[in-house]
Amino acid sequence: MSLEGVVNRILLFRPDLSREDVLKRIKEKKEDMEGYLTDETAARIVATELGVEVPQEFFKTEIPIKDVVSGLNDVTVTGRVIAVHSPKTFIRSDMTRGTVAHLHIADKTGAIKVVLWNDKTSLIETKKLVEGQIIKVSHGYIEEGLDGKPELHVGSRGEFQVSPLNVKECDYPRITRFVKKIAEIRRKTRASVVGTVQHVSPVSTFERSDGSRGKVMRLCLSDETGRVTAVFWNEKVDELGDIRRGDSLQILNGRAKEGLNGQLELHVEKSTQIETSHTAKNANVSDIKEEGGPITVEGVVVTTPKTTQVITVRNEKVTVTSFDLEDNTGKIRVSVWRKLTEVVKDTGAGTLIRINNAYVKKGFADQLELTSRRCTSIEILSKRTRTQST
């Protein structure tokens, strides 16, 4: 029923459109995605954009990962778990705690990040979801991640099946294809590893044959079996962000090759996926001397938080709240964005707070200030003013 069934459903709920209109939209959607969508998936996206709900039974039981795009709802995907990351807590606007965790799954067409929210994270905490399993994720929804790639989110409606019926083990890539120990990496192969950053070299720029500029950065990654130099190229340097010694780094689908010095290198290119887990250090205000992060800072709100709306470079209207934070060593300006504004907007001067995973950047007049990112959380510790030293 696939494509034909979706087209008929759109026409049923949108009588203002002709069949030719619908088929034209589907064709344009496939062209927009440069041929990466099947007819069925493109039709589903068009239905969503037109406000037409299409029941899951209209589609194949399994959508290949390569066909997953941002904007899809009620998605079912089957894949092998190739990496699992521990849950993290955050503070909601109503001051209650939430939890989020993620894992990566893969089928023979590709890999995708799966994000679990709140009670679903218990499946990781209780080890019901572990690396190597084949799982079916039902009733998920697709959102664009910070890296621009689609992510499969699983909320209250989402369901997991471990080792689902009628699924053949041999149809899914073995985990050894994705995650290896560093000592197992061989030259001229694709490899995925998880390790700890030991050393980061400065970014270098170079000129290509066409006169354009490129950039490259190297770091040393280690696990219990050895060390390897990871080489990041061009946009992957930017995607890596503020990486530093002690951070955890996962590289999926890197290219192993021999370096100029004859040593093994793992090259991170456009097709490679990376995932970082920064180690946030506790800091006093006086310790903040340069841009970067993440850091965790505890202090007292000393000015009334001021909330405004701004337009981002993507023409998105967002809310930002700013205030001054002080500890026993100094004072710094803080700006928090989006949902975190609800946490601090009603806090008065004298409120003791802890800002977890904040980042330092230059603000007005090149003064350093703290700013929030997606990983940032804020805890209200006390409404009482802490005594400040002079």
**DSSP state letters, 267-289:** EE-TT-EEEEE--PEE--GGG--
Helices (H), 158-307: 235-240
Residue 250 near residue 275, CB atoms below 8 Å:
yes
Q: How far apart are the first and last CA of the chain?
A: 75
β pairing state of 226-233 and 213-223 = antiparallel
Q: Is the model's pLDDT at 384 over the cut of 60?
A: no
Domain made up of 61-178: CATH architecture? Beta Barrel (2.40)
Query: Rounded to an integer, what distance in angstroms lies between the CA atom of residue 325 and that of residue 284?
Result: 11
The CATH number of the domain covering residues in 281-382:
2.40.50.140
If you average pLDDT over residues 209-236, what whole number do you get? 92
At residue 285, φ and ψ (nearest 5 deg) are -60, -40
Q: Which residues contact 281 (CB under 8 A, 6 or more apart)?
A: 295, 296
- What pLDDT does residue 53 have? 79
More confident residue, 42 or 205: 205
If you average pLDDT over residues 103-124, what whole number do you get? 89
User: 312-363 pLDDT, tens per residue?
Assistant: 655 667 889 999 999 999 999 999 988 888 888 778 888 999 998 888 888 8
Q: Is the model's pLDDT at 93 over the cut of 70?
A: no
Q: Is the model's pLDDT at 13 over the cut of 60?
A: yes
Q: Which tokens go with 202?
A: 């400065």
Q: Is the model's pLDDT at 95 over the cut of 60?
A: yes
pLDDT confidence tier of residue 58, bands split at 50, 70 and 90: very low
How big is the chain, counted in residues?
A: 390
Looking at the DSSP assignment, which residues form a beta bridge with residue 138? 159
- What pLDDT does residue 32 have? 65
Query: Rounded to an integer, what distance in angstroms lies between the CA atom of residue 143 and that of residue 151?
Result: 5
Q: Is the model's pLDDT at 60 over the cut of 60?
A: no
Q: Does this model's pTM top 0.85?
A: no
- Which CATH homologous superfamily contains domain 180-277? Nucleic acid-binding proteins (2.40.50.140)
- What pLDDT does residue 333 have? 94
Query: Rounded to an integer, what distance in angstroms lies between the CA atom of residue 114 and that of residue 206?
Result: 36
Classify the C-alpha dihedral 174-177-182-183 as positive or negative: positive
Domain with CATH 2.40.50.140 in the chain: 61-178, 180-277, 281-382
More confident residue, 200 or 147: 200
Residue 332 near residue 362, CB atoms below 8 Å:
no
- What pLDDT does residue 388 have? 37
Q: Which of 77-81, 234-238, 287-291, 371-375 has the lowest mean pLDDT?
A: 371-375
pLDDT confidence tier of residue 71, bands split at 50, 70 and 90: confident
If you average pLDDT over residues 230-248, what whole number do you get? 87
β pairing state of 110-117 and 150-154 = parallel
| Nearest residue to 360 (alpha-carbon basis) of 260, 293, 286 | 293
Q: Is the model's pLDDT at 185 over the cut of 50?
A: yes
If you average pLDDT over residues 305-318, what whole number do you get? 76
Question: H helices then E strands: how many in the chain?
Answer: 6, 21
| Nearest residue to 18 (alpha-carbon basis) of 27, 8, 28 | 8
Q: Is the model's pLDDT at 387 over the cut of 50?
A: no
- What pLDDT does residue 180 have? 83
| Nearest residue to 252 (alpha-carbon basis) of 124, 103, 152 | 103
Residue 151 has, within 13 A of its CA and on its CB side, a CA count of: 19
User: 266-275 pLDDT, tens per residue?
Assistant: 999 876 778 7
If you average pLDDT over residues 298-304, what whole number do you get? 92
Query: Rounded to an integer, what distance in angstroms lies between the CA atom of residue 75 and that of residue 45?
Result: 11
Helix (H) or strand (E) holding 44: helix 39-49
- What pLDDT does residue 36 have? 45
Q: Which of 31-35, 193-197, 283-287, 308-312 has the lowest mean pLDDT?
A: 31-35
Asked whether the bond before 87 is cis by omega within 30 degrees of 0, the reply is no
Classify the C-alpha dihedral 9-15-16-21 as positive or negative: positive
Q: Which tokens go with 364?
A: 């007005």
- Angle at the Cα of 112 (from 78 to 30), degrees rounded to 5? 90
Residue 97 has, within 13 A of its CA and on its CB side, a CA count of: 7
pLDDT confidence tier of residue 279, bands split at 50, 70 and 90: low
Q: Which of 67-76, 152-161, 311-320, 378-387 has the lowest mean pLDDT?
A: 378-387
Query: Rounded to an integer, what distance in angstroms lies between the CA atom of residue 341 and that of residue 321?
Result: 5
- Angle at the Cα of 262 (from 260 to 267), degrees rounded to 5? 65
